[in-house]
Amino acid sequence: MTYTVAAGLAVAAALAIDLVGLRTRLVLGRVFWLSYAIILVFQLLANGVLAGRGVVRYDPAAILGPRVAGAPIEDLAYGFALVLTTLAVWSRLGRSRLGQSRLGHSRLGRSRLGRSRLGRSRLGRSRLGRSRLGQSRLGQSRLGQSRLGQSRPE
């Protein structure tokens, strides 16, 4: 298999992953292309250094021939596939780990009734500083007397 065929298959696989497999559809948005343009500049710089110094050599029979920044144009296709696949997987994992539903609503900070799960009970009282009777757990006993420094009347 030539490098050209491998790069073409990589691009086709990356597009299938993005559009069909993960359904992130990054290639349809402007943000992806702006990000890719920034990445492409650094890819060309790295390709120029590596190919220019002879660190990486390509068999002329395995590539199309034209070069950009010293590297064959197949490197651009392979780099595109690598970036697209990485961003699509990262985007999908980020959504599922953050609890994003299909509608884009976060599941972390809201309960079904719209109350925060972190600091509220079902009755709307704070779980951290209140008892069921509305008294502070830290400084009040059931009778309303302070546990710190006061004793019960005898």
pLDDT given for residue 97 in this prediction: 66
Beta bridge partners of 67: 72
Which whole number is the average pLDDT over 97-114? 49
| Arithmetic mean of pLDDT over the chain | 75
Domain ranges of the chain: 3-97, 119-154
DSSP class of 140: B
The pTM score is: 0.58
Which residues fall within 8 angstroms of residue 97, CB to CB, at 6 or more apart? none
pLDDT given for residue 94 in this prediction: 84
- Structure confidence at residue 18 as a pLDDT band (50, 70, 90): very high
- Structure confidence at residue 136 as a pLDDT band (50, 70, 90): very low
> Does residue 24 contact residue 57 with C-beta atoms inside 8 Å?
no
